[in-house]
Structure 1
Amino acid sequence: MADMAAEEQAMREEQLNGRFQSPADLQLAVASEGVRPSGPPIIEVEGLTRHYGKLEAVKGISFEVYPGEIFGFLGPNGAGKSTTINMLCTLLRPTAGRARIAGYDIVAQRNKVRESIGLIFQDPSLDDRLTADENLRFHATVYGLPAAVSKQRREELLKMVDLYDRRDQLVRTFSGGMKRRLEIARGLLHYPRVLFLDEPTIGLDPQTRLHLWSYILNLRQQKQITMFLTTHYMDEAEYCDRIAIIDHGKIVALDTPSRLKDMVGGDVIRLRTSDNAVAAQQIKEHFGVEPRENKGELIFEIAGGEELVPRIVEKVTARIASISVRRPTLDDVFIKLTGREIRDEEADAREQMRGFMRSRRWARR
């Protein structure tokens, strides 16, 4: 019996992984199945703005999303991602600007917008005291689905996210990845045209994140649903058809992942020396590029980086502690556009929040 149970578990794991066994497999799937924009946009945003008192969290952003697209909103915490998604989902009223989802205005036609969308929140919102099926049944009632339709869709969606065999178990016994999959099933109960996912894999380990992305890509293939997701994970943003990079409430770039990386303009070289000022000047003189310094490293982009390493070592007179060459990533794109790493921005956002909470505690004294 134990061997049978182990075999069944292995089969479930194989189904969970599906055809995506690694991030490279996911990348190949995205490259071969990516959606090309066609027809009228399903999301239209024009000059969308949101103020919190004197703080302008979102600053007049504009963009369009097309049917069947996986559209990524990339940026650090505090950049305006969640504020934007909350406005588009009618949970927050814009200060200015306009947006339409599936042809409906997010302010004037809020109920129609809500009928057209599903939303996966950043923070878990399932009831741990209920079973998986009970959670779905409760939300089917909220959506006003007839009992027969509710039953059919619950079974379909639980099978799709590989939780049908666990449908009668309490959610409190589920892992983080299982809960996320159940939340995706819940968001699809009413067959929305657009599914919003706010940091869908935050707090999950890398393997579980990979599994969840296999579900997201399979879901797009099966249902032809439009997905709008926010993330601060650079590797996840690679799986999107197009990405908008947001920084301090403004969209600073919008394109496909490959075209964004083409902006960097060559291989990325990172250099750590005993005298970065001298090294930077010598690199500028001999190679015609001006390195920028970040966390004690010189960083610059240049074509044919690997072939140039011996010449760099020859021309830089400062002692070289380390040198590396690689193809550009979206992290490099963010650095080029903003001059900072996204991880630095995460730290700044956390420090701002801590300062805000300290000021609140002080005000209560």
Structure 2
Amino acid sequence: MSAVRAAEVSGTDSGAPAFELADVVVRHGRVTAVHGVSMASPPGRITALLGPNGAGKSSLLGVLSTAARPDAGTVRIFGHDVREAPMAARRRLGLVFQERTLDKELSVERNLWFHARLFGMRRADARERIALLLELFELVDRRRQPVEELSGGLARRVEIARALLHRPGLIVLDEPTNGLDPAARATVWADLLRLRAELGVTVLFATHYMDEAEYADEIVILRAGRVVRRGGAAELKSSLEASRIVVSCADEEAAVRQLRTAGFEPLVEPGGVAVHCADPEARIAAVVRSLDVPGLTVSVRHPSMNDVYVAAAGSAS
């Protein structure tokens, strides 16, 4: 994505949170999908939603996108209540769905024109915006190419450009890189990070990729319609207190005995014999000195986002 006239791409309302949910409840018939969730983001922040199927991610995105109404609580986009002023909220919101929604038979440019007409943009404004976004996303040479001829990564780039056409301050994405290869995933995230860094666009996305969650300033993990963890990636990892020294050898029983004799509290785990401690780098030498076993290898492991997710998915609150 080029740096051309970047400041002209997005529009935000100063003073109000980009999005704000307060005590939101969503029901589907007799099933409560979201139980009193509250969360908010200032402009310019990236927020990730994580959670297993049925955790409430899609229901939250549904009320945030104005596609559904909350059964209780309030949802605001840049200060505009989605119940009381849905059109005002929608104008400040760009959406990228998990399912591909471009017209495959139309060209890249015609897809953008169709979106501009849906939002009632004046022709001169739409022409200028389309030209700007084609250049910004390096799609000028593909403007007349049918979408069905594009790779998955390029098609996703067109969808993000389309979502920005009407100058939203918030872009909401549901599984933005689902089905893409690693190179295309990296390109999509380079685009999204630049949107935040250069344009001040607020990003909210749902994903099942743990590595993608680490792009976010705040990660919100949902379980059974409730928030069970939230914070930055480093904060969430450190909260587990699961850093460890892992010993691999040909005689784990002997390693356990020797470590206990040296005053450690070893645990046999799938990856080897583990010594959990807050500062494994400082204690690894002592662990090595205490061991006299064949085939010894010792490594340090810190909690990953996958560890955080597994811990949260099993928590009750």
Instruction: Find out whether 1:44 has 2:1 as its counterpart.
Output: no
Q: 1:169 Cα deviation (Å)?
A: 0.4
**How far apart in 2 are the matches of 1:138 and 1:64?**
32
Structure 2 residue aligned with 1:92, among 57, 61, 68?
68
Instruction: Find out whether 1:71 has 2:47 as its counterpart.
Output: yes
Aligned to 1:333: 308
Cα contact 1:286–1:315 (8 A) shared by 2: no
Question: Which secondary structure state, in structure 2, belongs to the residue aligned with residue 196 of structure 1?
Answer: strand
Question: Which secondary structure state, in structure 2, belongs to the residue aligned with residue 139 of structure 1?
Answer: helix
Q: 1:73 Cα deviation (Å)?
A: 1.4
Per-residue Cα deviation, 1:225-260 (whole angstroms, up to 9, x for no partner) = 111111121111111111111122211122222222
Structure 2 residue aligned with 1:248, among 177, 201, 224?
224
Q: Which amino acid is the alignment partner of residue 175 of structure 1?
A: S
Aligned to 1:217: 193
Cα contact 2:240–2:303 (8 A) shared by 1: yes
Aligned length: 301
Q: 1:39 Cα deviation (Å)?
A: 5.1
**How far apart in 2 are the matches of 1:328 and 1:154?**
44
Q: 1:310 Cα deviation (Å)?
A: 7.3
**How far apart in 1 are the matches of 2:244 and 2:314?**
14
Structure 1 residue aligned with 2:107, among 131, 135, 150?
131
**Which has the larger displacement, 257-266 or 84-93?**
257-266
Q: 1:55 Cα deviation (Å)?
A: 2.8
Instruction: Find out whether 1:228 has 2:228 as its counterpart.
Output: no
Inter-CA distance 312–183: structure 2 relative to 1 (3 Å threshold): same
Q: Which structure 1 segments of 5+ residues have no match?
A: 1-14, 19-37, 341-365
Q: 1:297 Cα deviation (Å)?
A: 7.5
Cα contact 2:221–2:312 (8 A) shared by 1: no
Instruction: Find out whether 1:177 has 2:153 as its counterpart.
Output: yes
Aligned to 1:161: 137
Q: Which amino acid is the alignment partner of residue 328 of structure 1?
A: P
Per-residue Cα deviation, 1:40-88 (whole angstroms, up to 9, x for no partner) = 4221111112222333222211111101111111223332112111111
Question: Which secondary structure state, in structure 2, belongs to the residue aligned with residue 46 of structure 1?
Answer: strand
Aligned to 1:356: none
Q: Which structure 2 segments of 5+ residues have no match?
A: 4-13
**How far apart in 2 are the matches of 1:78 and 1:313?**
45
**How far apart in 1 are the matches of 2:206 and 2:185?**
14
Q: 1:212 Cα deviation (Å)?
A: 1.0
Inter-CA distance 308–216: structure 2 relative to 1 (3 Å threshold): same
Instruction: Find out whether 1:303 has 2:272 as its counterpart.
Output: no
Instruction: Find out whether 1:201 has 2:201 as its counterpart.
Output: no
Scaled by the length of structure 1, what TM-score is found? 0.72
Aligned to 1:258: 234
Cα contact 1:268–1:305 (8 A) shared by 2: yes
**How far apart in 2 are the matches of 1:227 and 1:221?**
11
Aligned to 2:8: none
Per-residue Cα deviation, 1:310-341 (whole angstroms, up to 9, x for no partner) = 7668989xx9999753222222222333448x
Inter-CA distance 298–40: structure 2 relative to 1 (3 Å threshold): farther
**How far apart in 1 are the matches of 2:105 and 2:209?**
31
**How far apart in 1 are the matches of 2:227 and 2:274?**
24
Larger RCO: 1 or 2 (CA < 8 Å, sep 6+):
2
Inter-CA distance 47–301: structure 2 relative to 1 (3 Å threshold): farther
Per-residue Cα deviation, 1:13-40 (whole angstroms, up to 9, x for no partner) = xx78x9xxxxxxxxxxxxxxxxxxx954
Q: Following superposition of structure 1 onto structure 2, how do residues 10-89 of structure 1 map, counting pairs within 5 Å?
A: 40-89=16-65
**How far apart in 2 are the matches of 1:40 and 1:46?**
14
Question: Which secondary structure state, in structure 1, belongs to the residue aligned with residue 180 of structure 2?
Answer: coil
Inter-CA distance 301–139: structure 2 relative to 1 (3 Å threshold): farther
Question: Which secondary structure state, in structure 1, belongs to the residue aligned with residue 221 of structure 2?
Answer: strand
Q: 1:154 Cα deviation (Å)?
A: 0.6
Q: Which amino acid is the alignment partner of residue 311 of structure 2?
A: K
Question: Which secondary structure state, in structure 2, belongs to the residue aligned with residue 63 of structure 1?
Answer: strand
Aligned to 2:7: none
Question: Which secondary structure state, in structure 1, belongs to the residue aligned with residue 230 of structure 2?
Answer: strand
Q: 1:188 Cα deviation (Å)?
A: 0.6
Q: Which amino acid is the alignment partner of residue 263 of structure 1?
A: S
Q: Which amino acid is the alignment partner of residue 301 of structure 2?
A: R
RMSD, aligned α-carbons: 3.3
Inter-CA distance 68–275: structure 2 relative to 1 (3 Å threshold): same
Cα contact 1:271–1:320 (8 A) shared by 2: no
User: Counting helix residues as a fraction of each chain, which structure ranks higher?
Assistant: 1
